[in-house]
Amino acid sequence: MDLLPHLKELSRTTPSKILFVVLDGVGGLPREPGGPTELAAARTPNLDALAEKANLGRVTLVAPGFAPGSGPGHLSLFGYDPFRYEVGRGVLSALGLGIELGPDDVAVRGNFATLNPDGTIADRRAGRPPTEENRRVLAKLRERIREIDGVRIELHTESEHRFVLVLRGVGLGDRVHDTDPQKTGVPPLAARPHDESDEPSAKTADVLNKFSALARQALADEPRINGVLLRGVSKRPVWPTLGEITGLTPAAVASYPMYRGVASLVGMTALEVEVGEDPDAPEGKLAALKAHWEAFDYFYLHFKKTDSTGEDGDFDAKVHKIEAFDALLPELLALEPEVIAITGDHSTPSVMKAHSWHPVPFLLYGPNLRADAARRFTEDEAAGGALGDLHGTHVLPLLLAHAGKLQKFGA
């Protein structure tokens, strides 16, 4: 159900502030039968103390059984039905890098990969190379690949193994399948249009296949980064913004371009975050949050590494990232937001090394809460929480209501 039209009718502006924290991929599974999940294994005294005063529940981001991508997961949490508001990863990453996209342009998210001599994939992320190595390799590709069949090729570093490919030309479509098979031991897929009769998308697919072949030739002498995987082929959509719908003045505190992009797409101001060697380090995000606290009334705060460690299958490292966030929590609470919520955009169990369909725990602290028996921010505690089982699009109305920003519905 699309709740945005109703929120537009009922929303009102108040001085109260909302802090919405997304621990990317935070949901997990036990490492062994009967054992704890990553959240349950972590020492989280600050989250535990907050959980005792808050309400908990579980959130399904898309639908039961659907493992969300980060884009649909976030859009759902921001109030946008992911089945109605669809956008590819390429656009989100491009917007996060500040790339201007015209109506004819197509953006694609790329992964550098390691390919075996027989062309099969050995590592979908090429060992997560440093971002500086990404820039070096992209510079090599820019020299070799500037145009394909009259379509201008633009390449931009995102971070680590990630890059953005922008196609600028006429007659391009974006209904094209990914070339990333999402597993190793098999060759990359060919780019194909969803519908063979869709000539603009067929043209885009042909350009992408030629780009992949040229990239492999150009990178043949590289020891690790010797192939590319492409996904999220997309054009920029035009949607109503959160400000237009709710009257909020929303801001995003995120360091990775994709998450800055999805926030920008729904009208958030992506605040500048100073990053060092670790883009996910909390110091820059906390400084940005404090510097702009008075200027906005809704803050989306994103942390990535709870997802990355899960995708790497590193249970202990994911536990450590959860504990690192717990240590930061007192400084967030010291800002005294009227409403604070903590959840994930999907689950990434380290035993699966991938996004999963499992609901994510959701914590809500603010005024006018019912009694809740939950004592920890974990999957099991959330299953018995007072908020029950929610859809992702229910999160925004709950935040607005507890912040006093929603009027009564109906007579």
The domain spanning residue 275 has which CATH number? 3.40.720.10
Asked, for residue 410, whether it belongs to a domain, the answer is no
- Residues 396, 248, single domain; the answer is yes
- Residues 158, 19, single domain; the answer is no
Domain that holds residue 214: 93-234
How many domains, in total, are found in the chain? 2
Domain end (from 218, 234, 250): 234
Asked, for residue 221, whether it belongs to a domain, the answer is yes
Lowest-confidence pick of 71-85, 270-284, 342-356:
270-284
Asked, for residue 408, whether it belongs to a domain, the answer is no
- Residues 122, 196, single domain; the answer is yes
pLDDT in tens, 158-167: 989 999 999 9
- Residues 288, 360, single domain; the answer is yes
Other CB atoms within 10 A of residue 293 CB: 16
Secondary structure, 3-state, 133-188: HHHHHHHHHHHHCCEECCEEEEEEEEECCEEEEEEECCCCCCCECCCCCCCCCCCC
CB 390 within 8 A of CB 59: yes
- Residues 97, 159, single domain; the answer is yes
CA distances from 329 to 65, 242, 250, 324, 340 (A): 32, 26, 21, 9, 11
- Residues 139, 179, single domain; the answer is yes
% of residues, the chain, pLDDT over 90: 93
291 token code pair? 């510097």
- Residues 60, 179, single domain; the answer is no
Mean pLDDT score across all residues of the chain: 96
- Residues 265, 346, single domain; the answer is yes
- Residues 219, 118, single domain; the answer is yes
Average pLDDT over residues 226-245: 95
Whole-number pLDDT of residue 257? 85
**Model confidence at 359, in pLDDT bands (50, 70, 90)?**
very high
- Residues 262, 342, single domain; the answer is yes
- Residues 78, 107, single domain; the answer is no
Give yes or no for residue 89 having a pLDDT over 90: no
C-alpha to C-alpha distance for 374 and 83, rounded to whole angstroms:
32
Asked, for residue 409, whether it belongs to a domain, the answer is no
**Model confidence at 105, in pLDDT bands (50, 70, 90)?**
very high
pLDDT in tens, 174-196: 999 999 999 999 999 999 999 99
Whole-number pLDDT of residue 79? 98
Domain end (from 234, 250, 271): 234
Burial class (CB within 10 angstroms; exposed 0-12, middle 13-18, buried 19+) of 324: middle
Whole-number pLDDT of residue 392? 98
Average pLDDT over residues 13-32: 97
Asked, for residue 100, whether it belongs to a domain, the answer is yes
Asked, for residue 280, whether it belongs to a domain, the answer is yes
**Model confidence at 173, in pLDDT bands (50, 70, 90)?**
very high
**Model confidence at 129, in pLDDT bands (50, 70, 90)?**
very high
pLDDT in tens, 267-322: 999 999 988 778 788 899 999 999 999 999 999 999 999 999 999 999 999 999 99
pLDDT in tens, 206-235: 999 999 999 999 999 999 999 999 999 999
Average pLDDT over residues 96-121: 95
Domain end (from 210, 234, 258): 234
- Cα-based angle 221, 211, 149 (whole degrees, multiple of 5): 135
Average pLDDT over residues 108-125: 96
CA distances from 34 to 28, 140, 314 (A): 13, 50, 18
Give me the CATH number covering residue 157: 3.30.70
- Residues 244, 329, single domain; the answer is yes
Asked, for residue 407, whether it belongs to a domain, the answer is no
Burial class (CB within 10 angstroms; exposed 0-12, middle 13-18, buried 19+) of 270: buried
C-alpha to C-alpha distance for 302 and 280, rounded to whole angstroms:
9
